[in-house]
């Protein structure tokens, strides 16, 4: 695929990734994880499933709203959140943990959107987290997600070029034979069974707050009021995706 998904309302927005020591961002399970998270963000912002990355539709299992496992209910992005105003800045993700148990993999990812802003008609920038702060959420602009994946039976066959480079989107299908089997975020906290599926949620959320790229004062500054464009710099996609299709 090309990078056209990063046009339109998200042309001035990029995703950057970090991880705890020992987390490999460019090989192994982090590759389909990054592709899944970026795809869901894009589709949510644009309101179009056509903007997911190549391979998404074969890798992500269908939603199962009747499943006893609530992580199976909303594996696909919500397309009713289409962004009307252009977005700018950098959406920062940080992989807390990747736990592998045979073919089953569970990943915990912190998400920081306080440094993402809407461009107003006047040219100002307003953080997308401002509405969360207005609603009185404890940690506006900070979230944590839990993604369940199933690895290919033959891990060796899934090996490929390390996925890093100048592109904001992969040039080909980087999901391979990985399957996305579950997804949970804070919007599911009140659902029955949430604590059973994610018993460490509170501790994981606290860890994401502690590891935020900016301190509370800086986050509060960005979230509050109108700002010049320069307060929300668009950093290059990191680690990004290779310039050439993996052969």
Residue 72 domain boundaries: 4-165+176-228
Domain assignment present for residue 135? The answer is yes
Closest CA to 96 of 53, 37, 46, 150: 37
Domain assignment present for residue 237? The answer is no
Domain assignment present for residue 171? The answer is no
- Tokens describing residue 215: 């301190």
Chain centroid to Cα 7, Å, comes to: 18
Domain assignment present for residue 240? The answer is no
pLDDT tens readout for residues 1-49: 678 889 999 999 999 999 999 999 999 999 999 999 999 999 999 999 9
pLDDT tens readout for residues 57-72: 999 999 999 999 999 9
pLDDT at residue 195 is higher than 80: yes
Domain assignment present for residue 236? The answer is no
pLDDT of residue 1: 65
Helix spans in 60-212 (H): 130-134, 194-197, 201-210
Domain assignment present for residue 242? The answer is no
pLDDT at residue 196 is higher than 50: yes
Question: For the chain, what is the radius of gyration of the CA atoms?
Answer: 17
- Tokens describing residue 18: 């970090």
Q: Write down the mean pLDDT value for the chain.
A: 94
Residue found by looking up tokens 């809407």 in the block? 118
Domain assignment present for residue 53? The answer is yes
Query: Can the peptide bond before residue 239 be classed as cis, meaning omega within 30 degrees of 0?
Result: yes
Percent share of the chain, pLDDT over 90? 87
Residue found by looking up tokens 């962004």 in the block? 83
Across 132-161, average pLDDT: 86
Name the strand (E) or helix (H) holding 135.
none
Domain assignment present for residue 189? The answer is yes
- The length of the chain in residues reads 247
Across 102-131, average pLDDT: 96
Dihedral class, residue 58 (left if φ above 0, else alpha if ψ from -120 to 50, else beta):
alpha
The whole-model pTM stands at 0.95
pLDDT at residue 146 is higher than 70: yes
Structural domain tally of the chain? 1
How does residue 92 score in pLDDT terms, banded at 50, 70 and 90? Answer: very high
pLDDT of residue 115: 97
CA distances for 158 relative to 5, 28, 60, 180, 185, angstroms? 25, 8, 17, 15, 28
């Amino acid at each position: 695929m090309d990078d056209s998904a990063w046009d339109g309302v998200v042309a001035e927005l990029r995703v950057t990734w970090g991880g705890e020591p020992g987390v490999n961002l460019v090989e192994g399970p982090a590759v389909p994880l990054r592709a899944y998270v970026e795809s869901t963000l894009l589709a949510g912002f644009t309101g179009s499933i056509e903007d997911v990355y190549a391979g998404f539709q074969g890798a992500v299992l269908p939603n199962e709203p009747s499943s006893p496992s609530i992580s199976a209910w909303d594996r696909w992005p919500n397309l009713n959140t289409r962004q009307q105003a252009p977005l700018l800045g950098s959406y920062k993700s940080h992989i807390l943990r990747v736990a592998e148990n045979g073919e089953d993999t569970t990943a915990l990812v912190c998400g920081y959107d306080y440094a993402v802003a809407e461009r107003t008609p006047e040219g100002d920038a307003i953080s997308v987290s401002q509405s969360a702060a207005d609603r009185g959420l404890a940690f506006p602009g900070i979230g944590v997600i839990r993604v369940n994946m199933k690895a290919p039976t033959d891990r060796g066959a899934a090996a490929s070029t390390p996925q890093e480079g100048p592109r904001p989107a992969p040039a080909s299908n980087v999901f391979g034979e990985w399957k996305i089997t579950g997804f949970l975020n804070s919007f599911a906290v009140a659902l029955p069974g949430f604590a059973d599926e994610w018993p460490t949620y509170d501790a994981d959320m606290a860890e994401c707050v502690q590891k935020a790229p900016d301190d509370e004062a800086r986050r509060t500054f960005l979230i509050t009021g109108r700002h010049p464009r320069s307060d929300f710099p668009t950093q290059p996609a990191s680690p990004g995706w290779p310039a050439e299709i993996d052969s």
